[in-house]
Structure 1
Amino acid sequence: MQSAPPELASSALDAAPDAMIIIDASGVIRFANRQVSALFGYPHDDIIGRRVEHLMPERFRERHLAHRQSYTHSVRVRPMGIGLDLFGQRADGTEFPVEISLSPIEDGNKVLVAAAIRDVSDRKRAEAELIAARRAADRANQGKSRFLATASHDLRQPLQTLSLLNGNLRRLLVEPEAAQILAQQEMAIGAMSRLLNALLDISKLESGAVKPDPSDFAVNALFEELRLEFASLADNKGLGFKVTPSDVWIYSDRSLVEQILKNLVSNAIKYTRQGWIALRCLCESPSSVRIEVIDTGIGIPADQLHHIYDEFYQVEGSPDSSEGYGLGLSIVQRIVTLLDVKLGVQSEVNKGSVFALSLPAGHGQAVGHVPRKSAERPVRPAPDQAHVLLVEDHAGVREATRMLLRSEGYQVTAVASMAEALAHAAKNPRLDLLVTDYHLQHGETGMQVIEALRRTLHRPLRALLMTGDTSSAVNALPRDPHLRIASKPINAEQLLATLRELQHV
């Protein structure tokens, strides 16, 4: 095969889109195409015969001499400066980022090196803009998360005060007419609480503040928690609640899966007049499991199925339409999309519905989640025997809680900060129970209060942590047998039942 004439080779190199130079073993430039003059701003004749270091910033030249000499002893095709930021320097002294590829050329007994040089200023600028945009988006998301956490806490505090004051009044006023008014007030507070929770859940999901945190967890522990929470609600309506034990494990975000199932079971109870609700788990394949929520409720007409995930939509014929706002399934759909799982529904009018959630299978070696225990022995403490330390920085909630606990016979010391709590414990170490808010002033948390008091008292003080924060940070808090976590607003009966349970731990 004949070699190309020198003129043709030179023309081809001049036509190349990148600047190209050829240097000898001493680093002298022997050839430069037209793109080199355009890129570096030197006349062509001024480039030929100069050392290649002349085309780079002075601070890199001495180091480059050593690299160039190393390359001449082991020549091969490769990019230059892998993992490093490379810069060229124009005739006017300005610098610009470059990428350089090296290729050896044999010329008799001499070895020459061809270098293709590309200006990557536009790409680096785009990368920098992308990084800046990503950082701005991260800051915005963090700001949304902080706002929603604060809004969640601050909006729940007045509801918590109302709920506890209602509980106090129901203990003080025994006239039938007053009791009826307070019962209606309690229902209104409960409705406000459910609506607030639903709206905040939707806001967090839409803002991107919720990030899945998948792990392996046992279905049976989750089922037991759902049974404890919903069995009495079903029983109050005369419905059965069947939970089939399962030894299956799932790999997903436990708290988000729990939120899906809570909404589905709550809906099933709401739309079932008679019969039962069932919860079971089936293996679809070695890599997939299916959790089914089954009811014998009113069913969903076929022409309404595609509307059930719309916000504020309620199936026609609901016997308890005044108790809901049509947001539960909208929240479920958002979480399903976030987790990238599947949710199917089959329904027949007047016969019932089956909601089937398909999830990735997990492995049974993860750390188990300890299910909450139900308060089965509501033994009222004797007056003046149980001493409760209450830590709450919101004055209204603190006073309402203090009044409720005192009306039940507890000795109550109410403080606003961790420092006050520790000072009281130092003087009165015989504390029986601690009730603390999660978010306190000056960045303190209820968990810090619990840990500090336990260290001070040298024992696992039994504690109830109350919080209006529903973020993943709260869901990830460590559980132990002497700790209970309750979401605000918690009504008076739930609060007292939890404290009675803790006394028997």
Structure 2
Amino acid sequence: MFRFLRLLIPLILILVAVLWYLYRTHMTATLMIMQVSEQQSIQLASQTVDAVFSVLHGDALYLAENSSLQQWLDTGDSISRSHLNADFLAFTQSRKLYDQVRFLDEHGQEVVRVNLNEEQSEVVTEGELQTENDRYYVENTLALNERDVFMSSFDLNIERGTIEHPIKPTIRLSTPVFDNKGQRRGLIVLNYRGQRLLNHLRVIADKSPGSLWLLNKKGYWLLGPHPNMEWGFMYPDRQEMRFDHEYGETIWLAMLNGPQISHWLDEKGLFTYARITPTTSKLASKEPENFVGNEQWIVVTYIPPSNINASTIGHVRNLINAFVVLAPLLALLSGIITYHDIRRRQAEADARSSEARYRGLLESAPDGIVIADEDGHITMANVQAEKWFGYTQNELIGQPIEKLIPERFRATHPCHRKNYLANPVARPMGAGLELHGRRSDGSEFPVEISLSPLETNQGLLVTSIIRDITARKQAEKTQEQTKLRYEKLVNNLPVGVYRNKPNKEGKFLEVNQAMADIFEAESIEQLLAHPFSESYCNPVDRKTFIDTVICHGHIHDHEVLLKTLQGREFYASLTAVMKKDITGEIYFDGILQDISERREGKRKIEQLNENLHTRSMKLEAINQELEAFSYSVSHDLRAPLRAIDGFSRTLLNEYADRLDGKGQDRLSRIRAAAQRMANLIDDLLKLSRVTRTELKWKSVDLTQLASEVLEELRQDEPERMVQFSVQPGMIAHGDAHLLRIVMDNLLSNAWKFTNRHSDSEARIEVGFNLDDNLTYFVRDNGAGFDMAYADKLFGAFQRLHDNSEFSGTGIGLATVQRIIHKHGGHIWANSAVNQGAVFYFTLNEREIANE
């Protein structure tokens, strides 16, 4: 039980931790998505405010510069006044944005006033016109420069000292009026119906996950969570209904003094806010410093904790269900430690994968978005569009959309815009055409564009969603190049490459040029039209081939007799694999080789092998005879030689006093000749054994062999002080015993032929070089030889020096050559008389790899 609990409790704790981690990851992702959505609502609300004040600003300046007003200022007659009244009346009736439109003279006296009551405009009679010289906006406006616009606070309209009901949220805008001589003659005053702006914001709020509020700079709601909480600064009993009283002073100070656009998350919910100043509206700032006022608003979206929790309750339920299911399983399987470890690791991998998916979703970049009006002028561009086209938003706003189009298409683009506006529906732009965008530096890049119309109070706007497809185009180009390289590679292959179906006719689906050449077709098309089944000389061969591929999934080097389109028969080697297309239909991919020449070569090789076998049998018989001869030489010839040598030695030792000097000399020569004959027989036997010896390949340290041979030579003649140089690291591949014989012969010759030098001058060097191939050498500075006789150097019984000068049998170098040739190498020499000699040899060391 203790072991069970010791295993189970950590598993349960780990499970709880993993589920908690998944919950926190999901919660974080949900909050980030909410923040992005709420920020979009804030930005849309800010753009709405900008658009409204752009219109208000334009209307105020339009009325101040109205031609009827200027005419009345010049003449002052009744006709001009009636024209002025008519223009103001028509303007008010058509716009329906203003409760009052007034013109006051420089003393604050109303000259013209048009009221909009119940959507009907009327001109106030002269008797009802009032003097407004004590109102703050009159004095403030008359102090402004030409084309400056004064904006009042956003509050409720007051009639006769009380708030008008139903309430009328109002913003007053006024601008000074100057006559043609530049004299200040009065001011235009517009009472804007603020309820229209609030209604726009309510529409945005309806599409937002949270509530959308509008606050003034003191924290009072202009658009709030409930009508009873709005306009608190206008009602004495609502003075405490401020944002900071409801949600805390900390967040309120952050909204006032923190970043212009930001988020705030605490136990009261998620707040997203943006400070906006109508008098510095981006859309109204075409003429700098022409809006006067200190009004500042804060747009806030709010998602309560209940909504946040509701968005995750489904995930929490799933996690609880997972715990209910997994906990008993862990208890049941806790004794299986290995399986438990696999489950735990898999759970961790799933958690990491889930986190990666959430992160990838949140970090994906949006496409470029450009919005233009009916005239084709850009009204908005997002950051991605700025990045792709290389313009700032200020450089794009108000510019024609053709600014982003390559010059060669600009002339025809207005016509395309006109056609789209005639039927504005959401659709891709330029279907079937390749579209390009033009950057600020003049460079172009491929794009895909989707168009969608957007109806607004300012008219129809067209939203263009732009996607940079440079990478995709490059990938398509790379894919096409790869395809061309593949086709070129396949067509250049010396073997036939094909694809066909194992149906009745078996026509080829694809072939390369080599296939057409093999089948003697005039073109690839001719071969594709030819049934492959007719190319089999024996139909049974085709059935066998198809059955084998279908049974095993592949076949390799299947030989079959085929015929070309011209009727010529040839042997082919077929290799194929079975594949299936998306419909499940079987087809074969394979290669085909014309092996007629190979089969003929194989036949000739078999014939040669048969001849070689016959010759080998003959050589084996010769070798047996040679072995018999060697045995005869070893036993039959040695006995007479030993008798001659023995009896000669006895005569010299026992009967020397009976022989004169000449007789003793003759007898000594007989004995010396017998000994040389014995040595010659020994060397012949060595040469014979070398010829018959089978190589035993392994790594051989030639440095060590050379050093051992030289040391033995020094011990035989310790009085000689020959200089030795053996290069380290000479590791060869071959037969160690035979290579020792090579070193014995070459170094013994070098030792022998340096005998004429003084000990301090005699030198023997063993080494190798890597110029082209690995070449070993033995160099001495001895007697040397004449290169004119180099062709006799490695012949048996061939000697280039008299025996009286240097002893020897003439068999040693022949033996060395046989050994080197058995190793697949070569041996040669370079020398000059009295200038030493160098013997070079190579070994076919690749043989060791084959072994």
TM range (shorter): 0.3 to 0.5
TM-score, L = length of structure 1: 0.43
Q: Higher relative CO (CA 8 A, sep ≥ 6), structure 1 or 2?
A: 1
Bigger Rg over Cα: 2
